[in-house]
Structure 1
Amino acid sequence: MDMTELLDHCNRKKGVEETFPFNEETLVLKVGGKMFMLIPLEKQPLTISVKTDPEWSEELRERHPQITGAYHMSKTHWNTVVCEGLKRDLILKLVDASYDLVFSSLTKAKREEVMNS
């Protein structure tokens, strides 16, 4: 999986915005104004940080050495994923789960706003 394919997948989702709130090397994808994925653009191989359910996070970290607690984030809820060596389907599942977790945490009004955008 490459960056273009990853961003295309994300940008097909409702209300996704690409931002650079921290620095010009870290792309942050948001829905409803809340982060659901970070991508350090300078890092090779492709690496992302995504929000995951805490129980699933433990399982993922045990099964995949490419998945660790996210640097500078809550390691209970965020994982850093080195995409190299992982199946495309797992990467997309992680991105989708992160988007869904963040979207579901939005207020009803904000969710409706995103869906109508």
Structure 2
Amino acid sequence: MNIETFRDFCLTLPHATEDMPFGENFLVFRMANRIFALINLNRVPMSVSLKCEPERAVELREQYPDKIVAGYHLNKKHWNTVLLESLPEVLIKEMVQHSYDQVLAKYQRRKEKR
């Protein structure tokens, strides 16, 4: 999956926004101001960090050891870094949706507590 297709997919998710809070080299996708995807645009090969439920994160790393690793400079328990162009598009979309859903669930729990 290339960066344009990835970006287009992320922005189809409800209330998803994009910004570059860490400088012009880092593209961030958010829902309710919470990050669900982070891309270093200068990294070759292109990779994205995605939020993930801890058990599933480990399973994905074991299943795709050269393509999915613990989140780079992120909480390795809750984030994976994924090589964008080395995995099937359907799998990347599933991982993006899962990341988005993780953020949405936390947002909804916080909203209910108010």
- The alignment's TM-score, normalised by the length of structure 1, stands at 0.88
8 Å CA contact retained: 2:2, 2:85: no
In structure 2, the residue matched to 1:73 is: 74
Percent of aligned pairs sharing the same letter: 38
Measure how far apart 1:110 and its partner are.
5.8
Measure how far apart 1:107 and its partner are.
3.7
Counterparts of 1:110 and 1:82 in 2: how far apart (Å)? 33
In structure 2, the residue matched to 1:50 is: 50
Structure 1: runs of 5+ lacking an equivalent: 112-117
8 Å CA contact retained: 2:71, 2:79: yes
In structure 1, the residue matched to 2:103 is: 102
In structure 2, the residue matched to 1:30 is: 30
8 Å CA contact retained: 1:32, 1:110: no
Counterparts of 2:11 and 2:28 in 1: how far apart (Å)? 12
In structure 1, the residue matched to 2:89 is: 88
**SS of residue in 1 equivalent to 2:24:** coil
The residue identity in structure 1 corresponding to 2:98 is A
- The alignment's TM-score, normalised by the length of structure 2, stands at 0.90
Measure how far apart 1:84 and its partner are.
2.6
In structure 2, the residue matched to 1:61 is: 61
Q: Residue deviations 1:13-67, cap 9 Å, x none?
A: 1111111111210111100000000011111222100000100011011110211
In structure 2, the residue matched to 1:115 is: none
Count of matched residue positions in the alignment of Structure 1 and Structure 2: 111
Instruction: Give the root-mean-square deviation of aligned CA atoms.
Output: 1.7
Counterparts of 1:58 and 1:71 in 2: how far apart (Å)? 14
8 Å CA contact retained: 1:52, 1:98: yes
8 Å CA contact retained: 1:25, 1:42: yes
In structure 1, the residue matched to 2:8 is: 8
Structure 1 outlier segments of 4+, above 4 Å: 108-111
**SS of residue in 2 equivalent to 1:106:** helix
